Amino acid sequence: MSSAHIDTFARDNLPPIDQQPQFLFDLPELQFPEQLNCATELLDRHILEGNGSRICIRAPGLSWTYADLQDKANRIANVLVYDMGVVPGNRVLLHAPNNAMMVACWFAVIKVGAIAVATMPLLRAKELKPVIDKAQIRHALCDFHLATEVQSAAQQCPTLQTVRYFNDDSANGLDAAMARHSPVFANANTASDDTCIIAFTSGTTGIPKATMHFHRDVMAVCACWPPHVLRATSEDVFMGSPPLAFTFGLGGLVLFPLSVGASTVLLEKAGPPQLLEAIQTFGATVLFTAPTSYRAMAPQGQALRNGTLRHCVSAGEALPVSTRTLWREATGIELIDGIGATELLHIFISADEEHAHPGATGKVVPGYQAQVVDDDGKPVPVGTVGKLAVRGPTGCRYLADERQTKYVRNGWNLTGDAYKMDADGYFIYQARTDDMIVSSGYNIAAPEVEEALMLHPAVAECAVIGSPDEERGQIVQAFVALRAGHASDDAMVKTLQDFVKSTIAPYKYPRAITFVNQLPRTQTGKLQRFMLRDLA
């Protein structure tokens, strides 16, 4: 294998081999050649196979074929190399909402053998700085509409030298530079184990961690979950809400549709109302979004019944049974739940519609192995709660980070989730390991209490934490957003407490209930429990 990287930063900062997970390549579809550029496989291949005129990307007012995307990506690749001086192995910051130029820039970076570092569009200069510093970024491609934050970050980041803006009409914008360059580009002959993306974790606490993924990792996630669980075809129309900077979005909205020659619809704003409308106007068939978004759309879900939509994927957070039921009753569609992680790039435990067990995430995805282990890393018996351990073709490689030894133990990736497995091999989510509540010696999983509360018709959204208590160590405290028309008074507190007691073991009921208008969430839709702990 020969690396194409002239700038060896990524390879130099890989975790030592004995701290890396064990990688598995048992499946025949996971045999990768020594030299591999994932842009060739995901994009150029379709043009070579005569499918250049098929629709690749749609967005409001935009429709690009595979040939159009290749044309743009090649021009940008030429700008990167000849105007900006990017060499293979350099990191390139990408900062944009989910739009077509963002995807063209992503492919351009991969084509030149550089490393794409995509960031959430809502990040401010203060949050971009640690990313630029950590990945030692010299070059950036950015949507003109987000220029202010990138400019202000650039002033504080000595490494960042060249920034080009797209969706900008001016003479020095990326679009003008593209017009001066050729639409032909010979992709860098990268090694399958050259890093091509650095994804920052959307962690709800602490300093962000940078995970490194190779060209072969990108192809591996396309070969595992999509063909075995999603089973999309070239006729499918993908759509969803997760940002492309979040690997849930990168996979669901770029890698997976392109790996089967399908089309993807990109929405810069993809809240529940925008999604509902766009599904119908674009005829989406495959949807990727978070549990809360399904819950918010369910009341209008009837409009999607007997429409184009056929596969709905939920990930990012545990899927409450009540949300699964609401969505099925409204739309007639059973959700595909799947747990993924930035460290593993995409989903590794999931179930298709036919095999869904409400309350369970699913079974391990072909290509991966999963087990529930105790604190010493030994597998626990069926039905026992422990830590989720996973290994497969992808896994955790933090960039220069001592937390590597916490995530990877004995070759297994420890995701930080408490799970149990049943006799049929279904994995049942309990909580993040740090979110188990211990009250008077009882272990209580916050999501179980949330689930019970959400079954009450007055509850729109809720979150449960353990708050410190002198007598009991911790007590179960719930934060509840009520649906319109319900009073947030003492009578409602009592009603909800009694309701939980009648639904699950009474000792788990929330001793404290606080009413809120809305719950604090990250840009990837995850609940920020630490914010609630501060509130409590």
Contact positions vs ligand 3UK (CB under 6 A): 201-202, 247-248, 315-319, 337-342, 346-347, 361, 415-417, 429, 432, 524
Minimum distance from residue 248 beta carbon to ligand 3UK (Å): 4
- Judged by beta carbon, residue 241 or residue 361, the one nearer ligand 3UK is 361
Q: Which is nearer to ligand 3UK, 348 or 479 (CB)?
A: 348
CA distance 284 to 264: 9
Give the shortest CB-264-to-ligand 3UK separation in angstroms.
16
Contact 198/204 with Cβ under 8 angstroms?
no
Least distance (Å) from ligand 3UK to the CB of residue 521? 12
CB-based contacts of 494: which residues, under 8 Å, 6+ apart?
none
Shortest distance, CB of residue 360 to ligand 3UK, whole angstroms?
10
Paired strand residues for 445: 436
- Closest chain position to ligand 3UK (CB): 340
Least Å distance, CB 256 to ligand 3UK, is 11
Strand order in the sheet with 347-350: 62-65, 55-59, 263-265, 237-240, 286-289, 311-314, 335-340, 347-350, 363-364
Least separation in angstroms between residue 197's CB and ligand 3UK is 12
Closest CB to ligand 3UK among 70 and 415?
415
Give me the phi and psi of 17, to 5 degrees please.
Answer: -55, -35
Residue nearer to ligand 3UK on the CB measure, 105 or 318: 318
Phi, psi of 166 (to 5 degrees): -110, 170
- 138 vs 346, which CB is nearer to ligand 3UK? 346
Name the residue nearer to ligand 3UK (CB basis): 157 or 224: 224
Choice between 201 and 497, CB closer to ligand 3UK: 201
55-59 and 412-421 beta bridge pairing: unpaired
The residue (of 92 and 318) whose beta carbon lies closer to ligand 3UK is: 318
Helix ranges restricted to H, 348-459: 404-407, 446-454
Minimum Å gap between C-beta 300 and ligand 3UK is 23
SS3 304: helix
CB atoms within 10 A of CB 507: 11
Nearest to 340 by CA among 354, 329, 330, 350: 350
Segments of 374-490 assigned E as strands:
386-391, 408-409, 412-421, 427-432, 436-439, 442-445, 459-469, 473-482
Residue 462 Cβ vs ligand 3UK, minimum distance, rounded to whole Å: 16
Grouping H, G, I as helix, E, B as strand and the rest as coil, residue 126 is: helix
